[in-house]
Each structure stands twice: as structure tokens, then as C-alpha cells.
Amino acid sequence: MGGSELVALRAAGVSLVLDVAGPGVPRVLHWGADLGEAVDGLAAAQDAGGNAVPPTVPLLPTQLDRWAGRPGLSGHRDGGPGHLRLSLTAPVTVVADPSGGGTVTATSRDERAGITVRTELELTPQGLIRQRHAVTSTAPGVWHVDSLLCLLPVPAQAAEVLDFTGRWSRERAPQRSAFGDQTIAHESRRGRTGFGAPSLFTAGTPGFGFRTGEVWGVHVGWSGDHQHLAQRLPERDGVLGGGELLEPGEVRLSEGETYTSPWVHFAYSGSGLDGLSAAVHGWLRARPSHPASPRPLTLNTWEAVYFDHDLDKLTALARTAAELGVERFVLDDGWFLGRRDDKAGLGDWHVDPDVWPDGLHPLVDEVNRLGMQFGLWVEPEMVNPRSRLAEQHPDWVLAAPGRLPEEQRWQHVLDVARPEVFAYLLERLDALVAEYRPAYLKWDHNRDLVEAVHDGAAGVHAQTEAVYRLLDALRERHPGLEIESCSSGGSRVDLGVLARTDRVWGSDNNDPLERQHIQRWTGLLLPPELVGSHVGPPVSHTNGRATSLAFRCATALFGHAGIEWDITGCTDAERDALCSWIAAYRRLRGLIHTGRTVRADHPDPTAFLHGVVAADGGHALYAYAQLGASARDGATRLRLPGLDPDATYRVRLLPELPGPQLHGRPWQPDLVLTGAALAGHGLLAPPLRPAEAFVLELHRQL
């Protein structure tokens, strides 16, 4: 092999060009804007000549490639040298997709090191790139995998990085930094995805926004420890990528054993962050496993009753919910043995006969009689020291023998990778689902993994894989069962867990002001139908803030909507408002859960303007939310992005939700304008107070 041999894949305005001639691992010549079909001269155009360092890097760069950054693969055999010299063992396999894009598979080997690597790269019809590597030890002894990264190049124009931070009830808060000749790394060692994990870790042209700028994003689809990074050296293109974050000795490969990295997802857009979302959302929606049925309006009992499980009270709550139009009723924490508070009971997954002498059947039967689906809360991966399970099996905790980690929330983590723990959890979950036939499990995970040890080594990797197997096994036994990934709210939001679940819980915080921020940045990765968003009580239990019902409803509408509130105490006016909002959600969810998410780069930093536009451009919904006191005084100009510029639209307030006041009277717009006029000039709207919002509905005129 020698010279150059190019593979060019194109889809949805994205080009991926590889030099696969060898002898080394394929080199990425271009990832970004569509270059068209004439790319034959691209390799020559990048030839630096002589001994100059080439600007591009292979998919698995090493020191042999004169790469001084983080190597794509690092490790060692029993403490020996870890410098790798990978060469292709056969021609690269390319399979084109008639819908656009295709797959590239390459196998490389270092004979002396005793390592073989299989690399898979896919450009989907939606323009999303998925990449992973599988490393196999082919020699005697043990190969220790220290790090395995999936990397793609980004040009010098990508001079700014968008990363995230976060905490409980304030997930995914954005932060930006300049990207020069440096390494910017986001690492999580929490044993779960984390409150501040990047939805998409993004590099782009300085000042990029939702609708402007050239941007490149990456997401590691893994629910354990992980890393995302952007790195640039003075003599090379920058790289963007990530992978699992491994502890020393965590992955040890004997001869014939293989470690496969998580899928790492890459997206490019020439028109801002909304373009990245379009690629990821489109790919998610094209999966065979993506939820296909309308997302049912859900009532969750947590903020209605907490641990106060009383059949009469819960039955009254269910009847009120059904009267309002709720479609799914979820019984939250507190139903199992000894669970009167969060200090006891985890692990004892049997219905508590002291609270439920006839089991859950009376409640389940009534919920089903009322025409609603039944759902149930579980937290299988955890155990309270005050539980029968902990007393009988103290060695089942994910820890070194005789060295328990510090308790968090009065609980420890079960070692799910241990066969007997896995078998116990699968038996208990299977039995519960078989007996009560819930349509839905809210699967929680309420603490970080610390000092996690399995079988004498670091245990997060084994734990994560075991939890995936547990989810897969339960779904195989109960194919219609839907599962929500909840983790202290939004601490397990990633494409790895979503390969086997049906939605995430965006946050434990139902305060709509905070939810506006959380849902905005969760939505960078996930479409609305995968993010639970509920109307909470008038005063938020997380921060004590009081907000209007109208604002809470307008915020929860743009997700998989629900209620988390004791609605038996609502006034007649509140019930009427909830009935109207539920009717709006049920009428519009076909649009919200299939349309393209759009977010305006609105000039007022104290307000958000966002919406969803149908795939054919004929129907749209926009929300304008005032989050803080604006420096502006007077009418606000709203420019609505994403519409068909040549179409004419009628613009009206959403009839099921109240609108703002203008000069003491209700503001009732009824306008007919082109998409170009609405995007380029906009419409005037009255000023709002903080924590106020309104929703506009647009229909294309024939």
C-alpha cells in the first residue's frame, strides 16, 4: 500500500474524506462542509512536502505519526513499552448507503506489540458520524488499556469551545472558552454521566450561535466515566473527540480478549448549533427503537405525596388526573419494604404489606379502569444499609472487601457486574413487571460511584456494562415496557443509556425558570419527546420560587409533558387551565415530537425565543419566555427562525394558553406574513415581566 487512495462519503451537507492507502491507519483529510464529488486532488493539496509535518492526523494518532498530542490508543503489555506502530492488515471496507453516507471499516495491527484494532466509522444519512474502536490482544500476557479515543480533525477556524458545567437541579450550564494551541478537556469520574456532562462538546468559529457560525460537536455515548477533549498543536490541525475514561488496571486483556470503546458521535453544521441538533435528532428519530407511539401525558406522584403512600389519597389523585386528561400515572418512591423515607429499604424490591396489604393491585386496577397506563419507580443499582438485602449480603456492595466508601444519601451502590447481584435484580424486576404489568419504569440512580471496586480492580467500566445488560435483559423479557433514565434528575443523560431507554428526566427541578435553561441545553442533544418536562406545584420544592400556572404550562409543553403536583387541591380555575393545556399538548405533540427544533439568537439575554417547525414547514410553534428583567423598555421584536421563506403563514396565539396584556387588554395577534418576513423583520410583541411567556402557533396559508 502507498500513495493515496481516497474514500469520500457525503450526506445532509456533510463530507467525510479519508486517505485509506496505508500502510498506517486511515487519515482524515476532511470532516465538515460538503465538498461535492470532485475530491481526487485533496490529498495532493495537503501534501506538505519534504520532512514537513502533515497537517492531518490518522484516526488513531501515535508518536510514529509525529503526533505529540494525546495518543489515540495508549497502553502496555505487563509494563513494557507502549509505543504502537499500527499498519493496515487488509484493504479498508467501504459500504455506501443509498440514502447518503455509508460505513468504513479498517483493521490494523502491531505484530510486535500483539495488538489488533478494528475501527468502525459511519456517516449516517442525517449527517451524523459515529465512530468506535475495538482492541484485541493477540499475544501471551496481559495488555493494559490505558486510553482509547475517537478523534476527528477541526480546522483553525474552530477557535472557541462550548463546554458545560452543572450540579443537582441546575444541569448542563454552558461555558465558553477560547481554543488556541492547547488542550481543553472535560473529564467525569462520577461513575455516571454527570450533571455537567456535555450534551455536545462543541468547537466553532468565534461567537457561533444557534443559527450562525460553523461548528463541530462531539458526544461520548457512555454512562460511566468519560472524557471529551479539544486539542491543537502548533504544527497540526486541531482534533475533537473523546472516549471512556479508564482507571489504571480497569481494562486488562488476556490473549484473545477484546475491549470495544463506546460509540462516539460527531456532528457538523455550517449554520450554528441548531444544525448539530438537526443531525443528532434526525438520527435518533430514525432508529428502529425510537418511541413511535404518542408520548402519553404523565402524572408522577413524587411532588404530590412524597413517601405518604395511602391508597385512598392516591386513588383520588388518579381519578382527578383522569378527569383532566392524564394518560399515564406513575407511582414514585415509597412502595417497597420499609421505605418510609430515603434512609431505608433500597434493595428490598417487594411491595410493603404494611402499606399495601393487597399489594399494588387495587391502585393498578383503578388506574387501568380509568383508562390510564400505570408506571412504577425503581432504583435497582442502589442499596440502603438499613435493608434486608444489605444485612443478608453485605459483600454485594461495589467496594473493596472490608473497605466501604462513604455513604451518599444513606445508600451504597450494588455491584451489578457480580453474577448473583445481576440475577437477583433481574428476578425482582421481572417479577414486578410480570405481576403488575406497568407500561413504564422510572429507573433512578441517586448517587455517584466512588471507590468503585469490582473483582479486585476499578469497577466503573464493569458496572456500566452490567447495567446495560440488565436493561437489555428486562426489555427482552418485556418488549413493550418503556423505561425512563433518571439519575438524581438529569445526571444520566447520554446516548449510551438512551440506546435502551425511552426518555430521560431532565432535572429534579420543576421550577420553570430553571427548566427553561436546562431544557434548552438538554435539547442540544435530544429531541423534545425524549426529555420529561412536568408542571410542578405553584411553589417549587427545590428552591421555593413561586411562578404562575401559565408559565409552568408553557415551559412543560416543549417536551414529553406531564404533571408533578397534588392536583386534588387545585381550584376550579387551575383545573380548567390544566385541562386546556393537556388538550393543547395532545393536539400538538405530533408536531412537537417530529418537527425540527429551532432556537433564535435573540438579542435580549434575559429572554429565550425557541420553537419547533414541522418537517414540511407547514406548521410551527414558538415560545417567547422572559427569564429576567430586561434592559429594554417597550415592544419586543421577535424574529422567528426556521420557516419556509417563500410560504405565507397565519400567526396567532396558542388558543389553549393565556396570552400577555397590552395596554391593559389581552394581546391577540392575527397576522399573515411570509416566512422571510417573519425571520428577517419579525413581529412586535408586548413586553413581559420576568417568569412570563406566551406561545404562538403558525399555519401555512394555501
Domain locations in the chain as residue ranges = 52-285, 298-507, 597-700
Candidates 287, 204, 234, 643; CA nearest to 495 is: 287
Residue range 524-530: mean pLDDT, rounded: 98
* Bond preceding residue 291 cis, omega within 30 of 0: no
Residue range 579-600: mean pLDDT, rounded: 98
Question: 225, 352, 448, 508: which one is catalytic?
Answer: 508
SS3 label, residue 449: coil
Residue range 568-576: mean pLDDT, rounded: 98
The CATH number corresponding to 298-507 among 3.40.50.2300, 3.40.1190.20, 3.20.20.70, 2.60.40.10 equals: 3.20.20.70
- The answer, yes or no, to whether residue 491 has pLDDT greater than 50, is yes
Does the annotation flag 443 for ligand binding? yes
Residue range 99-114: mean pLDDT, rounded: 97
What is Dmax (Cα atoms) for the chain?
83
Helices 460-477 and 419-436: crossing angle in degrees, nearest 10, is 30
Burial zone of 3 (CB within 10 Å; 0-12 exposed, 13-18 middle, 19+ buried): exposed
- Distance between alpha carbon 19 and the CA centroid of its chain, in Å? 32
Cβ-based neighbour number of residue 205 at 10 Å: 17
User: Is the distance from CB of 276 to CB of 215 less than 8 angstroms?
Assistant: yes
Higher pLDDT, 41 or 189: 189
The predicted pLDDT at position 349 comes to 98
Does the annotation flag 508 for ligand binding? yes
The residues facing 215 across adjacent strands are 204, 269
- The answer, yes or no, to whether residue 1 has pLDDT greater than 50, is no
Q: Name residue 537's amino acid.
A: P
Does the annotation flag 333 for ligand binding? yes
Question: 110, 225, 444, 644: which one is catalytic?
Answer: 444
Does the annotation flag 343 for ligand binding? no
- The answer, yes or no, to whether residue 665 has pLDDT greater than 90, is no
Predicted confidence (pLDDT) per residue in 411-443, tens digit = 999 999 999 999 999 999 999 999 999 999 999
C-alpha to C-alpha distance for 426 and 420, rounded to whole angstroms:
10
- Distance between alpha carbon 69 and the CA centroid of its chain, in Å? 28
Beta strands in 101-168 (DSSP E): 102-110, 115-123, 129-137, 143-148, 150-154, 160-167
pLDDT band at 236 (very low <50, low <70, confident <90, very high): confident
C-alpha to C-alpha distance for 395 and 411, rounded to whole angstroms:
14
Q: What is the pTM of this model?
A: 0.97
DSSP string, 12-39: TTEEEEEE---SSS-EEEEEEE---S--
The residues facing 154 across adjacent strands are 238
Does the annotation flag 444 for ligand binding? yes
C-alpha to C-alpha distance for 549 and 389, rounded to whole angstroms:
43
C-alpha to C-alpha distance for 554 and 610, rounded to whole angstroms:
12
Predicted confidence (pLDDT) per residue in 324-355, tens digit = 999 999 999 999 999 999 999 999 999 999 99
- The answer, yes or no, to whether residue 698 has pLDDT greater than 60, is yes
Does the annotation flag 332 for ligand binding? yes
Lowest pLDDT segment from 442-456, 616-630, 653-667? 653-667
Q: Dihedral sign, CA of 422, 423, 428, 432?
A: positive
Predicted confidence (pLDDT) per residue in 616-650, tens digit = 999 999 999 999 999 888 888 999 999 999 999 99
Phi-psi sector, 589: left (phi>0), alpha (psi -120 to 50), beta? alpha
C-alpha to C-alpha distance for 621 and 610, rounded to whole angstroms:
9
DSSP state letter for 359: T
Does the annotation flag 409 for ligand binding? yes
The predicted pLDDT at position 3 comes to 62
The predicted pLDDT at position 42 comes to 86
What is the CATH architecture of 597-700? Sandwich (2.60)
The residues facing 19 across adjacent strands are 6, 27
pLDDT band at 50 (very low <50, low <70, confident <90, very high): low
Q: Dihedral sign, CA of 454, 455, 461, 463?
A: negative
C-alpha to C-alpha distance for 397 and 413, rounded to whole angstroms:
6
The residues facing 696 across adjacent strands are 622, 653
Candidates 367, 394, 396; CA nearest to 380 is: 396
Average pLDDT along the chain: 96
Q: Name residue 315's amino acid.
A: T
Q: Dihedral sign, CA of 69, 70, 74, 76?
A: positive
C-alpha to C-alpha distance for 414 and 347, rounded to whole angstroms:
9
C-alpha to C-alpha distance for 631 and 202, rounded to whole angstroms:
30
Predicted confidence (pLDDT) per residue in 355-376, tens digit = 999 999 999 999 999 999 999 9
Dihedrals φ, ψ of 74, to 5°? -135, 145
The predicted pLDDT at position 4 comes to 74
The CA angle 203-613-506, to the nearest 5 degrees, is 60
Q: What is the CATH number of domain 52-285?
A: 2.70.98.60
Residues of the chain with pLDDT > 90, as a percent, come to 92
Query: 508 an active-site residue?
Result: yes
The predicted pLDDT at position 55 comes to 78
